[in-house]
Amino acid sequence: MTEETRIRLNKLIARHTGVSRREADEMIEKGSVSVNGAVATLGAQVVASDTITVDGKQIDVTTGAILLLLNKPRGYVSSRKQQGESPTLYDLLPSSYHSLKTVGRLDRDSSGLILLTNDGDLSHQMTHPSFHKMKIYEASLDKPLAPLHRQMIADFGVMLEDGKSQFGLDRLVEGDETQWRVSMIEGRNRQIRRTFAALGYTVVTLHRTSFGKYNLGDISEGNFEAVDIS
């Protein structure tokens, strides 16, 4: 953002803190945001030389949008706080990236691609159902999936306590009914595991390989790659 450029305050907050523009507006409405020492108002526009604070903490507008692709190993939680003996995925990142927020989550027992960003608009576009971002997983089951159950999941859906669950299924290896590629747009909490469990199966491993246009590629387990989204 140059000295001459004016930008809506909620957009700037979203770009540099990882919240959505709606959440930024809520912060402004609550009086949590100040511009040059004065409480900000909805619809305000700012420039690079302005001092912007949220809850008294200054936003660093010199830092551009950041997106990391992380290959999360099993056993790590997708939160900032360690849960019991389980480490957090932030332990895998340099401290300079600890302010980034995860775009969605992977449960502790799942592995693979997880995105982290400071761009709230990007996070919203990746997670809100209206944007229909496809996620691809590789799942292994404790026993072969019956053809009827495959049809139920893919064609009709399985009723869970929080609604119907439906996703695409393709064999990873021809003739192996325990290894499946799962394609889904939804992303409810432990949805894949709960769907198979409702039909009597246990997901042994679950590994995400892509999220929207972003792919894990050759990023090794526990490592990450920064992506240019400018």
Which residues make Cβ contacts (< 8 Å) with residue 100, sequence separation at least 6? Answer: 18, 66, 68, 93, 116, 117, 118
Among the listed residues 25, 50, 107, 155, the single catalytic one is: 107
Closest CA to 29 of 13, 18, 15: 13
Distance CA 150, CA 83 (A): 34
Active site residue 162: no
Which residues make Cβ contacts (< 8 Å) with residue 46, sequence separation at least 6? Answer: 6, 7, 9, 12, 35, 52
Distance CA 200, CA 212 (A): 30
Under 8 Å between Cβ of 29 and 42: yes
H/E element, 128: none
Determine the 3-state secondary structure of 4 from DSSP.
coil
Residues labelled catalytic = 107
